[in-house]
Amino acid sequence: MAKRWKQRPDGSNWGEFGDDDQHGRLNLLTPARRLAALKEVRAGLVFCLSHPLDKPGGSVLNPFRKPPEFHPVIREGKVYFNLDMGETNPRFTDVGSDEAIFLYSQYSTHWDGFAHKGTHFDADGDGVAEKVSYNGFHLVDEQGRGLHGETGARALSVAAMAETGVQGRAVLIDLRHHFGDARTDITYEMLEKVMKDDAITVEQGDILCLHTGLGQLIRDANGTLDNAIKMQCAVLDGHDKRLLEWISDTGVAAIAADNLAVERSGTLGLDPRMPHRGPQLPLHEHCLVKLGIHLGELWYFTELAAWLRKHKRSRFLLTAPPLRMPGAAGSPVTPVATV
């Protein structure tokens, strides 16, 4: 395949894992690093890091995403749920159930795929900026076929992410322990101090996990969130250039948080520091588009964070593949931490 771009955005790593790479920083989850991650398993305990898929509940956190809906499966004219199979054949004695579920792929605990965000950039050098995503892939091809077609951004769907297994060493930074549940924009200086105080080191190939406490507030609300929750708990300051540089320099393989968007979200309105024109979510553009770093959102870390702090640890084995759904820009995930 011919190289699809002649120039790449400043600070990007396009082409460094190959001209047609679809895995981004997950390429750093090598066999050697997975073996090192296995050494973090000492107690043999597991923590489920996802919410039930019907949480957070309602559409308070994001008005464009809705809870899952169950739909019936019809078998030979009958609703296939608690169905006496003898009604389909008198020889059968079993009872069967099946269902269909309509899901917003990024409603609950999820990964953002690379196709989730793009940017305007003159990748082909003709003087006109076009819509491109990670490694210069176009979300729509010359025939107008897009994410769910046979070509185009299908290469950047979460199916490619699933192929890697998404298993490696994770490092948890407990922002809630230091900042409580108050809305706090975390800069690099603040993050650096937390890591120094907790003796945390983040290395190349690590999966960075951020405990802000919002996941616990979602659990406590039990599906009845109010608007106040959108003004609670820590978020990364996506406008802090030093923070973005740190993400670039450390070589983290992916980032996951228990808040809405990892960074301050545009659902609260425009950030007053935003330039006249620019990305709504600068950290998303930096990670998903420029560096090939997947972002996990709305995870659940509170129980794991308490256990790690009690045992004076910050690292664990993380296994978190998305659904292998070709063409999907995001995916529900049930991450598992093994300590």
- Summarize pLDDT for 217-227 with one digit per residue, the tens: 999 999 899 99
Tell the residue number behind the tokens 């009872």, with chain if given. 95
The residue ranges of DSSP E strands in the chain, in sequence order, are: 46-48, 69-71, 74-75, 78-79, 83-84, 95-96, 100-102, 110-112, 119-121, 130-132, 167-174, 184-186, 207-211, 234-236, 254-257, 294-297, 315-319, 330-332, 336-338
Q: Give the per-residue pLDDT at 152.
A: 42
Q: Give the per-residue pLDDT at 149.
A: 53
Packing angle, helices 188-197 and 241-250, rounded to 10: 50
* CATH fold of the domain at 24-60+107-338: Glucose Oxidase; domain 1 (3.50.30)
Beta bridge partners of 172: 209
Would you kindly state where each structural domain of the chain is located, as residue ranges? 24-60+107-338, 69-102
DSSP letter for 86, please. G
Q: What is the CA radius of gyration of the chain?
A: 21
Check: CB of residue 129 under 8 Å from CB of residue 166. no
Residues of the chain with pLDDT below 50 are 1, 150-152
CA 267-273-278 angle, 5° bins: 75
The rounded distance, in Å, linking the Cα atoms of 15 and 24 is: 10
Through-space distance between the first and last CA atoms of the chain, rounded to whole angstroms: 43
Q: Give the per-residue pLDDT at 328.
A: 92
Task: Indicate the pTM of the whole model.
Answer: 0.94
Q: Give the per-residue pLDDT at 297.
A: 98
Check: CB of residue 186 under 8 Å from CB of residue 175. yes
Beta bridge partners of 173: 210
The rounded distance, in Å, linking the Cα atoms of 302 and 219 is: 10
